């Protein structure tokens, strides 16, 4: 989220898990659209790639692509807050320390939820939690009315942001939680896509 033409507010997400999910979806034979903010990663060959920069941009692209998607996986660490105003010109040191007022960024999952038909038959989200993982994630599953939730403990050093491995719990309404051991993000992606495919195959 821009502060001025050179500075942005961002977060520690690398995009690795999202890119791995796009790759796993392609490998499973799905027509795949990867909507991504800037990362250092190479997009998987075979995906339609849409580059976005802000939560607002991502919202527009997600809503557009949802018109023809069977499933949406929201793995992006979208901003919850953004500067209320982005300065048109670079903020200068000589002008003193700026006061930055934040406002809410659009909640993409909430907007998808409000879509009438057609909307994706399956919506999966992520829950990045640093405490009370299962409790917070279960509440998110319900409040966001998700079909699947990947709960992520970001306080662990071998899971979550930036690293290649992840330790997640898969949650679905009215189903027991599936706790996966520490594994590569590519393996998490394959399991998630397999679960999504199985659910889409159900009439």
Q: Applying CB under 6 A, which residues contact ligand CTP?
A: 55, 74, 76, 78, 80, 105, 107-109, 125-128
* Min separation Cβ 172 and ligand CTP, Å: 14
Catalytic-residue membership of 11: yes
**Measured from the CB atom, is 90 or 155 closer to ligand CTP?**
155
Query: Apex CA 162: angle with CA 157 and CA 163, to 5°?
Result: 55
* Min separation Cβ 76 and ligand CTP, Å: 5
**Measured from the CB atom, is 22 or 74 closer to ligand CTP?**
74
**Measured from the CB atom, is 22 or 105 closer to ligand CTP?**
105
Helices (H), the chain: 16-27, 55-66, 108-114, 133-143, 185-201
Residues 6+ apart with CB under 8 A from 38: 51, 53
* Min separation Cβ 60 and ligand CTP, Å: 13
Beta carbons of 25 and 32 less than 8 angstroms apart: yes
The neighbour count for residue 8, using CB atoms within 10 Å, is 17
Q: Which residues are the active-site residues?
A: 11
């Amino acid at each position: 989220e821009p502060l001025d033409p050179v500075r942005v507010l961002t977060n520690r997400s690398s995009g690795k898990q999202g890119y791995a999910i796009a790759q796993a979806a392609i490998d499973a034979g799905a027509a795949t659209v990867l909507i991504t903010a800037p990362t250092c990663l190479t997009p998987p060959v075979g995906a339609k790639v849409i580059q976005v920069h802000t939560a607002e941009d991502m919202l527009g692209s997600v809503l557009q692509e949802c018109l023809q998607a069977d499933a949406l996986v929201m793995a992006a660490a979208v901003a919850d807050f953004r500067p209320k105003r982005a300065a048109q010109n670079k903020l200068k040191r000589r002008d003193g320390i700026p006061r930055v007022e934040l406002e809410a960024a659009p909640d993409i999952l909430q907007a998808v939820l409000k879509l009438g038909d057609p909307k994706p038959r399956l919506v999966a989200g992520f829950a990045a939690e640093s405490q009370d993982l299962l409790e917070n994630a279960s509440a998110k599953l319900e409040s966001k009315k998700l079909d699947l939730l990947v709960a992520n403990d970001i306080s662990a050093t071998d899971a979550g942001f930036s690293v290649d491995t992840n330790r997640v719990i898969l949650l679905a309404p009215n189903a027991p939680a599936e706790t996966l051991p520490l594994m590569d993000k590519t393996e998490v992606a394959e399991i998630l896509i397999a679960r999504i495919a199985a659910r889409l195959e159900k009439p």
